[in-house]
Chains A and B, each alone.
Chain A
C-alpha cells in the first residue's frame, strides 16, 4: 500500500495533470447523456463517471509506448492515456474523424499511436488478446508492458482464467486490472462471484494479486507503478483489483434502481475528484484558483470537442466496404 513518502515523489505538475485528466474525463462523460438524448449518438453508452481515479491512476503509471487494452467502458481510459476528447466525441457521433473513423462507436475506441489497443464489447473477450500483446513485447524483447483493464464481471468468464494462466505460464509483461465497480450490469459481485475478494483469484496462477482503493488516484497510481516496474524487470504479470463505483447506471438506458440511495450517497461522498482537489489544496500542491482554472479550461475543451464532432462529416458511404480486408 502507498505511503506518504511515495506520494511525495510526485511533482506538483504531475499531480495537477492527474487532476486535470480526471476533470476532463468527468466533463466528457457528463456531457454525453444530453447529447445522447438529443440523438447525436446511438447504441450503447457506458459512462465512466466515478471511476476516473482508476483510469487516470493507471495511465499516469505507464509510459506512452506501453499498451493499454480495455473493455467497453473506455472513453475515460483512452482520454486518460492522452486520447483527444474531440476525436473520441466524434467517434461517439459516428463521424469520419472519430478515433475508429466512425466504425467502432462508444465501445470500440482505438488509437494505435497511443497504443490504445481497443475497447471490446464481449465481457472478458479481450483478456487473451492482451496476453498476446504482452507476448509480442516478450517476443521482440521490448521493455514495454501491457495493461489490461476489465470489470468485475469478466473475472467470472472462462477466458479470464485462460488468460491469467497463459500470462503466468509465459511470464509476459502485463498487468491485469480489474475495475470492481460492484456490479456486472445489475448483478452485484456478491451474487455473481463465489469469491468476493476478486484480487484473490490470481492465486491459482501464482500471480501476485493486490487490492487498491479505486477512488484514490494516488493509491492506484502507486500500486500500478510497482506492478509495471516488476513486469519491466521480467517479473511477469500482476493482478490488481481496484475497488470503485460508477455513479451512473450500467449504460445510458439503465436507471440503476438495483442500488440503494444510501449506497449511492456513500460512494458520492468518496468522489475521487473533489477529494483529490481537497487533498491538493491541503497539501499546498495547488490553490483553489489553480483548480478552478483547470475546471474552466476542461469545460471549454469538451465544448470544443462537441463542436468538432458536430461539424465533422459522416463517413463516406464507400467506407462501408473498406477495412474488411487488407488485401481485397
Chain B
C-alpha cells in the first residue's frame, strides 16, 4: 500500500518548501529514521526522515522544485495491506523536523568580526567539510528521477565543477553534467568522466532535450550554508546595526555561583531576562515597518555541538526564576547535543544571547536574527586591573557584553540603559536569585 509523503511544515512561518536533494531513489528500500531528503524551508535547510519502512515507489517532486506545504512529494509502498491512517501522516510531518540548520547562523555571527573577504574564504573552505558530513547523493533533474546504480559525488556551489572540454562534450551529446561523477582534481568532471557516463547511459535514452538542463538546473540546488549566508547578508544589509559594549564586574557572581550551584551563563540569562522585563522595548520585533513589543520574553541560546550550532529558545522567561532558567537551559543544551531538539523548541525567539566565553573570546559583535531587535554577545570573564572603591588598583573579573541593536527599533540610549541594567544585575547577583 502506498503512503503519501507530503511537503512538511517545518517552521512557524513556512508556507512552501524546496526539495534540495533526494537522498533516495525510486526503488530504494527505506527504514524508519532514514534520511530521505533535504528540504529548504524559509529558514533553513533540513533533513527529512522516513517514518515508515517501505520502498520508494515514486518521487513526485524534482530537486530544486518548490511546492506548497502539504503537496505530495513522494509515494512510499509498504508491505502492509492496510491503509495508513491519515493521522499518522501528520505525525510524520511533525517529526520530520530533525536537524534545524538555523543555529549555524550563530556560527556566522561569530565570524562576523573577521574581514568580509576572510569570511567568504572561510565559507568556501567550509564546503568540503559539509560535503563530508552529508552523505553524498546525486543531484537529480527536475521531475525526472531516474535510477542510477552509482551515486555520484555531490558537487557544491552554483556551478558544477567540470572542465571546459567535459562541458563541451556534454553539451554536444546533450548530457546532463549534474549526473556525472567527477574524478578529476577536487572532484572536477573531466572528459573521461563524461565519456564513461555516456557509455553507461547508452541504453538509457536521454529524455532531456540536448543542452538545456545542465546549466540552470544545478543552480537551484542551494545548500544549507548558502541559506545561512543569504539570511546573514539580508540581516546585515537590511538591519541598521549598531553596537554598544559594557564591562561588568563579575566578582560577586563568581563568589556566589559555587554555593548556589549555578553557572555564570545562568546568571547572564537571568540578568538578561530581568532586564528585558525592565526594558520591554528591547524585547520587540520589527514587522512590516514597525516595532512590536513582545509579551513573552523568549531568549534564544547559541549551543555549540558536534553537528554545529543550534538555537534553542527558552520560552516565557518572564515567568521563570533563575533556577528554572538554569534547568531549561541545561535541558535544551543536552537535547541539542543529542540532536533531540524539536522544531518548535527553536522557534519564537524574541532576543538572542550568544556566549563565546567558553571559547576564550574577550568580546565580539553578533548579527541580529530578524525580526528580533537585538542580540547580546557575551565574552569571557577575565581578570583585569581596575580601580577599586578606595581608588587603588585591584584585579577584578571582568565580563564584556556587546549588544547589537536594530536602530529602527532602538536608539543608543535604549541600548545603553538596557546594558546598564544587565550590568547592575550581574554586579548584584543576589537580586537575581531573589527574583521569583
Direct contact of A and B (CB under 8 A): no
